[in-house]
């Protein structure tokens, strides 16, 4: 069976930084990424705002990913893309699936940097039909920023955190009409800089204290019925797309069965959005580098 000192699962900002630091500490490192290239969420982000604190540069997400991927490929760490880690066992082995089929790897430490999951439109429990055009923000980003497709022309955006704000700007910047950004709370969420940069220049209508209470349309969405939570008044917003940006949840699927006492085994560490949701990538990189370096001290030398 193959062996590595440190197995890193996930090649987003966190996994890349952790793998780099552990490898620079002289450990044998294997990073596995299920997609065809490292970068994770960064690959979908065409907007600027990445690396201001850590690199002192204002990069797009894709540029930030490229900066670290280049360093990673030049390092001694081994990177395998198109490889999904299916499970982890207490005997410090992992079951993986790659282009050549299933295989196992033994490791000393494992860094889980699997990112996060989006709350899906289904999990929001909004009554009504389920026509085309109801998408999570992540899916819309994939369609538009990776596949070059158009997710919609007149979206309603649900959720005013950073992801919702950035999606609103993406639609408005390309000349499309954002019908409204709706938010249940009494104020817009997200970072101050995103509120300033994403909403104000485009005069995007923001409806606070507002919930989506019904999705309308048969084949394609035609509108969303909304309720003002203060007055109870309902009305219909006509749109061709509903983008949900209702929250992110750390993806700890792989360690679910490893924590009978609610504690992680001592050979497993979490980092990046898998550990807690990070608004800013610079802190992901910093924390993951510190983790990689400290595990690098503990793991046996090559
Ligand atoms: C829409 C949006 C906009 C943002 N805008 C900004 C911004 O302007 N500025 C800023 O600083 N930050 C921004 N952020 C935050 C920042 O991008 C993220 O916090 C950071 O990129 C998260 O990195 P990560 O490595 O933790 O997760 P991810 O990027 O999600 O990486 C996880 C990786 O793990 C892989 N993976 C998962 N499971 C497995 C498995 N079983 N086997 C193998 N591989 C697996 C996935 O394919 C993925 O590549 C934004 C985030 C979002 C969502």
Check whether residue 280 and residue 131 sit in a common domain: no
Report which of residues 236 and 260 the model is more confident about: 236
Which atom of ligand 1 is least distant from the CA of 13?
Answer: 25
Check whether residue 240 and residue 255 sit in a common domain: no
Q: What pLDDT score does 124 carry?
A: 85
Cα separation of 235 and 14, whole Å? 43
Cα separation of 213 and 225, whole Å? 6
Percent of the chain scored above 90 by pLDDT? 91
Q: What pLDDT score does 256 carry?
A: 87
Q: What pLDDT score does 301 carry?
A: 54
Which CATH number does the domain housing residue 193 bear? 3.50.50.60
Cα separation of 57 and 279, whole Å? 17
Check whether residue 199 and residue 265 sit in a common domain: no
pLDDT digits (tens, 9 = 90+) for 3-44: 999 999 999 999 999 999 999 999 999 999 999 999 999 999
Check whether residue 198 and residue 228 sit in a common domain: yes
Report which of residues 134 and 121 the model is more confident about: 134
Three-class secondary structure of residue 299 per DSSP = coil
pLDDT digits (tens, 9 = 90+) for 225-254: 999 999 999 999 999 999 999 999 999 999
- Ligand 1: centre distance to CA 114 (Å): 8
| Mean pLDDT within 40-59 | 94
Counting ligand 1 atoms within 8 A of each CB, the residue from 7, 11, 79, 114 with the most, and so the one to mutate, is: 114
Q: What pLDDT score does 108 carry?
A: 96
DSSP per residue, 63-89: HHHHHHHHHHHHSS-EEEES-EEEEEE
Q: Among 151-165, 219-233, 288-302, which stretch is predicted with the lowest mean pLDDT?
A: 288-302
Check whether residue 185 and residue 241 sit in a common domain: yes
Check whether residue 17 and residue 65 sit in a common domain: yes
Which atom of ligand 1 is least distant from the CA of 14?
Answer: 25
Burial of 286 (0-12, 13-18, 19+ CB in 10 A): middle
Q: What is the pTM of this model?
A: 0.93
Instruction: Please list the residues that pair with 237 across neighbouring strands.
Output: 224
Of 208, 226, 246, the last residue of a domain is 246
Range of the domain at 18: 2-117+249-298
The mean predicted confidence, pLDDT, of the chain is 95
Instruction: Please tell me the total count of domains within the chain.
Output: 2
Check whether residue 44 and residue 87 sit in a common domain: yes
Check whether residue 168 and residue 61 sit in a common domain: no
Cα separation of 178 and 6, whole Å? 46
- Ligand 1: centre distance to CA 139 (Å): 14
Burial code (b: 16+ CB inside 10 Å, e: under 16) for 123-142 equals ebebebeeeebbbbbbbbbb
Check whether residue 139 and residue 187 sit in a common domain: yes
Check whether residue 262 and residue 210 sit in a common domain: no
Check whether residue 124 and residue 241 sit in a common domain: yes
Check whether residue 124 and residue 242 sit in a common domain: yes
Task: Band the pLDDT of 299: cuts 50, 70, 90.
Answer: low
pLDDT above 70: residue 300: no
Cα separation of 44 and 274, whole Å? 18
């Amino acid at each position: 069976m193959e062996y590595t000192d440190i197995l890193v699962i996930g090649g987003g900002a966190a996994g890349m930084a952790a793998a780099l630091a552990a490898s620079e500490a002289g450990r044998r490192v294997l990073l596995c990424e299920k997609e065809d290239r490292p970068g994770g969420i960064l690959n979908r982000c065409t907007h600027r705002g990445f690396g201001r604190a850590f690199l002192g540069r204002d990069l797009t997400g894709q540029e930030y990913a490229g900066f670290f991927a280049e360093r990673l490929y030049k390092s001694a760490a081994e990177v395998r893309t198109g490889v999904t880690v299916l499970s982890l066992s207490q005997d410090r082995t992992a079951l993986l699936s790659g282009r050549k089929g299933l295989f196992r790897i033994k490791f000393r430490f494992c860094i889980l940097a699997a990112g996060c999951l989006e709350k899906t439109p289904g999990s929001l429990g909004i009554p009504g039909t389920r026509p085309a055009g109801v998408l999570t923000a992540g899916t819309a980003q994939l369609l538009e920023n990776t596949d070059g497709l158009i997710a919609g022309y007149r979206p309603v955006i649900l959720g005013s955190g950073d992801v919702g704000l950035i999606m609103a700007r993406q639609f408005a910047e390309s000349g499309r009409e954002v019908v409204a950004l709706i938010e249940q709370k009494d104020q817009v969420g997200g970072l101050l800089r995103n509120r300033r940069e994403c909403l104000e220049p485009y005069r995007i209508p923001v409806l606070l204290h507002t919930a989506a209470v019904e999705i309308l349309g048969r084949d394609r969405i035609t509108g969303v019925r909304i309720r003002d939570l203060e007055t109870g008044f309902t009305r219909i917003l006509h749109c061709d797309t509903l983008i949900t940006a209702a929250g992110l949840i750390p993806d700890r699927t792989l360690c679910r069965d490893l924590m009978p006492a609610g504690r992680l085994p001592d050979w497993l560490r979490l980092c990046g959005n898998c550990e807690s949701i990070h608004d800013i990538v610079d802190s992901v990189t910093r924390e993951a580098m510190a983790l990689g370096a400290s595990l690098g001290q503990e793991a046996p030398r090559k």
